Chain A
Amino acid sequence: MNDFDQKINDLLLDIFDKILLTEEKALRRGNFSDISVAEMHTLESVGPYEKRTMSETAATLGVTTGTLTVAIDRLVRKGYVERHRDNTDRRVVRVALTRQGKLAFRMHNKFHKLLVDRLVTPLDEQGRDVLRKTLIAIDGIVSEQYERYVLSDHAEDNL
């Protein structure tokens, strides 16, 4: 790797690590210290309004329904999620956020909103456009790797 590539690599790893660490610390210090970042992201995938099926939620998170069931069990015990039987098909279980879950979801969203505001506010129109295009390119490359490694693991798990 040349100096430029090394710098890009260091920045990417540093951003990834610090966002995760800051999210974790913010949760620990706040009103929702009994849930982890991973659990918070499960709450995000359930979403604040619709009652979603387990398979829809698992697909959003990119995990198997078996993995999700374990995570949802824990969140139900902690009072953040509740299970409902589908009104039209009693075999289908839907999940929804409790009031505490909605509150955690909202507070966590605020954390992300502040982060994006701090990043975007000082930029002019051109700067925002460069940032958007760069992030889309990074997302495209990371998504390719994600599909290659993570989704192929799930396919093997489901065999």
Chain B
Amino acid sequence: MNQDPREAIFDKVISTIADIAGVNISELQGSTELIADLALDSLAMYEIVIELEDVFDLQISDSDIDRIHTVDDAVAYILDSHSA
């Protein structure tokens, strides 16, 4: 059975974030706040952004980064970019 596209993106996003933030995937949920909950600094945020750009073939601008606060925000952004 094919995986739901949102679920597939969600899985890739949390695996990327877990890798860079040095946390276990099980600790991440859609509502997890990247800066407030994971205490990511701007360097780690950019590492995540660059990895997501590579994986999903995207270009994420700085003003778009300012709107991505949670894991769900990142997933929604990627879904929107792919459907645009």
Give bound CA distance, A31 to B41, whole Å: 12
Is B8 in contact with chain A by the CB < 8 A criterion?
no
Q: Is B37 in the interface zone, CB < 8 Å from A? A: no
Question: CB-nearest residue of chain B relative to A109?
Answer: B62
Complex CA gap A49/B47 in Å reads 15
Instruction: Tell whether B1 is near chain A: CB-to-CB under 8 Å.
Output: no
Closest CB of chain A to B6's CB: distance in Å? 26
- Asked whether A31 lies within 8 Å of B43 as measured between CB atoms, the reply is yes
Residue of A nearest to B54 (CB): A99
Query: Main SS of the interface on chain B?
Result: helix
In the complex, number of A-B residue pairs with CB atoms less than 8 Å apart? 21
Q: Is A26 an interface residue (CB 8 A)?
A: no
- Alpha-carbon distance A106/B61, docked complex (angstroms): 10
Taking the complex as formed, is B56 at the interface, i.e. its CB lies under 8 A from any CB of chain A?
no
- The distance from the CB of A35 to the nearest CB of chain B, in whole angstroms, is 15
Residues of A contacting B42 with CB < 8 Å? 107, 110
Q: B24 interface residue, CB < 8 Å from A?
A: no
Cβ-defined partner of B50 (8 Å) among A103, A110, A113: A103
Q: Say yes or no for A102: interface residue by CB 8 A criterion.
A: yes
For A93-111 the 0/1 string (1 means CB < 8 A from B) is 0000001001100110110
A115 to B56, CA, bound (A): 31
A106 in contact with B50 (CB, 8 Å) = yes
Residues of A within 8 A of B62 (CB): 106, 109-110, 113
Chain B residues near A103 (CB-CB < 8 A): 43, 46-47, 50
4 residue pairs, one from A and one from B, having the closest CB atoms = A106-B46, A102-B50, A103-B46, A49-B59
Residues of B within 8 A of A (CB): 42-43, 46-47, 49-50, 59, 62
Chain A residues near B (Cβ < 8 Å) = 31, 49, 99, 102-103, 106-107, 109-110, 113
